[in-house]
């Protein structure tokens, strides 16, 4: 017993004791579910029993047009959020970081507020605003502009637009803050040197700001890619459930939820999850290669 106590308090054992919770959580809530998702994806799980069905779930996914729609939607959404949620927040951050803007703190707070709200709340607000009834806010605006009213959440373009608007509404401020802190980390000497060389504002932005902001950009890019691919609750709230007209709001995770939870088809739902996993890993590898991070890790 004493020996054990001594060992427990030794410098050798301590770090393992410290990381023990992580190891437990890793095994229980990561490795195990990950493995079981893989096994389940090869099974047909019904209330009356579980059956191994080989790759049938995946074969079915290949033919499942609804799933293809889901993948397409998720990718479209992800790419468009990247287009909207990286350049604009970066531009706003540069402005904010300059001395041009008055009352910075106030605007920063305003832009940040949406991130504090739950998706349930923001989704509901936006659903009401995009209501197809003439009293919906968007219809009031378009009607006032003489454009008539629209069934916003029934058409692909406007439906996706609404989703993107929710995304921009919630994340513009957050991403802007990321970039601001990235800018703060840039050594002012760099700009002074550029000034001496007679660089224009654009040149400084292009050749100093952008390259030195790269770590931040990569970070924002990574979280945006993940958030974009895994988006579900936004669409769930905007259409008040996992269903949307012509599946315009269906995403990969939405389909996983619908099959696995609503329809209780754990096997097929897991197969959807595996596809998402493969996509996520592929993106990771591409990103690691592009960043040359692989090399750094070796050192």
Partner 1 sequence: MKKKVLATLLTAAMLATTLAGCGGGAAPENEGGGVEAPSAEEGEAPAAEGGEATAADEGGEASADDAAAEEEIPTATFGDPNGTHMEMWTFVELHGQHYGNMVEKWNEENPDRTIEITCTTYPYADMHTKLLTSLNAGTGAPDICDVEIGQFPNVVAGLDTWLVPQNDTAAPYLDTMVQARMDVYKGSDGNYYGIPYHVGATVMYYNVAAMAEAMGISNDDVIAKIDAVTTWDDYAALGQEYLDAVATDGKYWTSVDTAGCDWQWIAMAEYGEDWTGGMDGTANVQLDSVKKMCTMEQEWVNSGLAEVSPDGHVDLEAGFQNILDHNIVSFPKAMWYMSRFTNYMPEEKGNWYIAKCPVFEAGQKCSVGIGGTGTVVTQQAVDKDLASEFLCWAKMSEEGEQLIWDNLGFDVCNTVLWNDDAFAHDDNNQYNQFFINYPYDVLYSIKDDIGTVYTTAISPTINEQMCNVTLNDILENGVSVDEALQAAQDVVDLEQ
Partner 2 sequence: MAETTSVKGKETMGMKTKRNILSVFATVLFAVLSFLIVYPLFAGLIASFRPGTELIRRGLSINLDFSTMTLANYTYLFGNNVDGHKYFMWYKNSLVLMLVTVFLTLLICYIVAYGLTMYNYKLKNFLFFLVIATMMVPFEILILPLYKEMINLKLVDTIWGVMLPGLCGASTIFFFRQYMTGLPKDLLDAGRIDGATEYGICFKIMMPITKPAFAAMAILCAMGSWNNVLWPMLVYRSAEKFTLPIGLNTLLTPYGNNYDVLIAGSMFGILPVFIIFLCFQRYFIEGMTAGAVKG
Q: Which residues pair with 44 in a beta bridge?
A: 51
Q: Is 179 exposed, middle or buried (0-12, 13-18, 19+ CB in 10 A)?
A: buried
**What is the chain's Cα-based Rg?**
24
Task: Output the six-digit token pair for 6.
Answer: 């001594």
Of residues 127-156, those binding partner 2 (CB under 8 A) = 128-129, 131, 133, 135-137, 139-140
DSSP designation for 113:
G
Cα 168 to Cα 216: distance, rounded to the nearest angstrom = 18
Of residues 176-205, those binding partner 1 (CB under 8 A) = none
Answer for which of 10, 11, 65, 299 binds partner 1 (CB under 8 A) is: 65
Site string for partner 2, 263-292 (x = CB under 8 A): ---x--xx--xx-xx--xx--x--------
Cα 180 to Cα 43: distance, rounded to the nearest angstrom = 49
Does 226 sit near partner 2 (CB under 8 A)? Answer: yes
Does 132 sit near partner 1 (CB under 8 A)? Answer: yes
Does 11 sit near partner 2 (CB under 8 A)? Answer: yes
Does 47 sit near partner 1 (CB under 8 A)? Answer: yes
Residue 2 binding: pick among partner 2, partner 1, none (C-beta 5-8 Å cut-off by kind): none
Task: Output the six-digit token pair for 150.
Answer: 């629209």
Residue 262 binding: pick among partner 1, partner 2, none (C-beta 5-8 Å cut-off by kind): partner 1
Of residues 221-260, those binding partner 1 (CB under 8 A) = 241, 243-247
Of residues 63-82, those binding partner 2 (CB under 8 A) = none
Mark out the alpha helices in the chain (DSSP H runs): 2-9, 14-26, 32-40, 56-63, 65-85, 87-97, 104-112, 119-129, 137-144, 156-184, 188-196, 201-204, 210-212, 214-229, 233-238, 252-257, 266-291, 293-298
Choose the binding region for partner 1 from 41-49, 72-80, 95-103, 271-279 (rule: CB under 8 A): 41-49
Of residues 8-37, those binding partner 1 (CB under 8 A) = none
Cα 172 to Cα 154: distance, rounded to the nearest angstrom = 26
Does 263 sit near partner 1 (CB under 8 A)? Answer: yes
Residue 86 binding: pick among partner 2, partner 1, none (C-beta 5-8 Å cut-off by kind): none
Give the footprint of partner 1 on this chain (CB under 8 A): 46-48, 60, 63-66, 131-133, 151, 154-155, 241, 243-247, 261-264
């Amino acid at each position: 017993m004493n020996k054990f106590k001594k060992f427990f308090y030794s410098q050798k054992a301590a770090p393992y004791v410290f990381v023990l919770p992580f190891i437990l959580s890793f095994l229980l809530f990561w490795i195990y579910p990950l493995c079981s998702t893989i096994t389940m994806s090869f099974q047909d799980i019904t209330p009356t029993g579980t059956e191994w069905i080989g790759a049938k779930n995946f074969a079915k996914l290949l033919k499942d047009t609804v799933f293809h729609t889901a993948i397409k939607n998720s990718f479209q959404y992800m790419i468009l959020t990247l287009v909207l949620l990286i350049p604009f927040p970066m531009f706003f951050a540069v402005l904010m970081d300059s001395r041009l803007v008055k009352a910075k703190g106030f605007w920063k707070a305003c832009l940040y507020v949406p991130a504090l709200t739950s998706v349930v709340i923001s989704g509901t607000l936006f659903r009401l605003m995009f209501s197809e009834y003439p009293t919906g806010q968007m219809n009031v605006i378009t009607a006032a502009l003489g454009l008539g009213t629209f069934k916003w959440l029934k058409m692909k373009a406007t439906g996706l637009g609404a989703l993107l608007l929710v995304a921009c509404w919630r994340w513009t401020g957050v991403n802007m803050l990321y970039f601001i802190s990235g800018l703060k980390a840039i050594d002012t000497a760099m700009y002074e040197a550029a000034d001496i060389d007679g660089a224009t504002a654009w040149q400084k932005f292009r050749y100093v700001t952008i390259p030195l902001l790269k770590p931040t950009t990569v970070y924002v890019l990574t979280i945006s890619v993940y958030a974009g691919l895994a988006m579900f609750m936004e669409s769930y709230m905007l259409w008040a459930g996992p269903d949307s007209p012509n599946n315009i709001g269906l995403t990969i995770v939405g389909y996983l939820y619908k099959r696995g939870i609503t329809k209780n088809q754990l096997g097929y739902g897991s197969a959807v999850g595996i596809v998402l996993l493969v996509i996520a890993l592929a993106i990771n590898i591409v990103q690691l290669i592009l960043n040359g991070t692989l090399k750094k890790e070796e050192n």
